[in-house]
Amino acid sequence: MSRLFRQGYLDVLCGVYSLMNATAIVADNFRWKDAQEAFAESVKLLEAKGSLSHVLRNGIGYKDMTAIFDNVLAPVHGLQRDSPFRKHDKLPLSTFCHEVDQFLKADRQHAVIVLFENRYWVHWTVITEIKPKTIVLADSARRSFLHRTFLTTSRKRTGRSTRIFAKPTLFISRKNIDLACDVSPRLETADRSEAPFEAGTLSLGQI
């Protein structure tokens, strides 16, 4: 028998699932019914924007991610977001991990949505913890962690390495709670030679 296709194999909705999983971590009482309603509203929003077909085939970009968060999730569940790395074109992995770690440790109901790429796929997921050797995930594709040894934030990804796209990273917290990470003063000397990430420029692989 030829290979069977499982539910979720042919769509590329990891970004939407990462938003739902982050909300489940951060929001109080985000239940199955809430997730179903939010998912349905997210699809409606993408359809209204004319981007649903593209998202299903190619994956979702930063602008659609933030549109869903701002219009579907944040108002109903009292959430807020920050993109602390948006203005920094090149970010050392050590700095990325440090800032994410500080944010997550500030409150157990914080979550970080991140985009990564390896030789198999490009994938949105949720970071819940930074450990010395691994980055712990709450992932829609059931991936438990990323090995820090093989991670990079550089465009020059090779072999077994996995590239973290720092720029579109989303820090998610409850509204009216101070976002714990303001990286701008510490990164004023960052190298800005790398071209900025723009939503829709990546072809996101299927999950």
Report how far Cα 75 is from the mean position of its chain's Cα atoms: 19
Q: How far apart are CA 73 and CA 20, in angstroms?
A: 8
Q: How far apart are CA 148 and CA 97, in angstroms?
A: 9
3-state secondary structure of 147: strand
The tokens of 127 are what? 């970071």
Residues in a beta bridge with 170: 113
Q: What type of residue sits at position 79?
A: L
Digitized pLDDT (tens) for each residue of the chain, 207 residues in all: 567 877 777 888 999 999 999 999 999 899 999 999 999 999 999 999 999 999 998 999 999 999 999 999 999 999 999 999 999 888 999 999 999 999 999 999 999 999 999 888 899 999 999 999 999 999 999 899 999 999 999 887 677 799 999 999 999 999 975 554 555 445 544 433 333 333 333 444 333
The tokens of 134 are what? 């691994």
3-state secondary structure of 50: coil
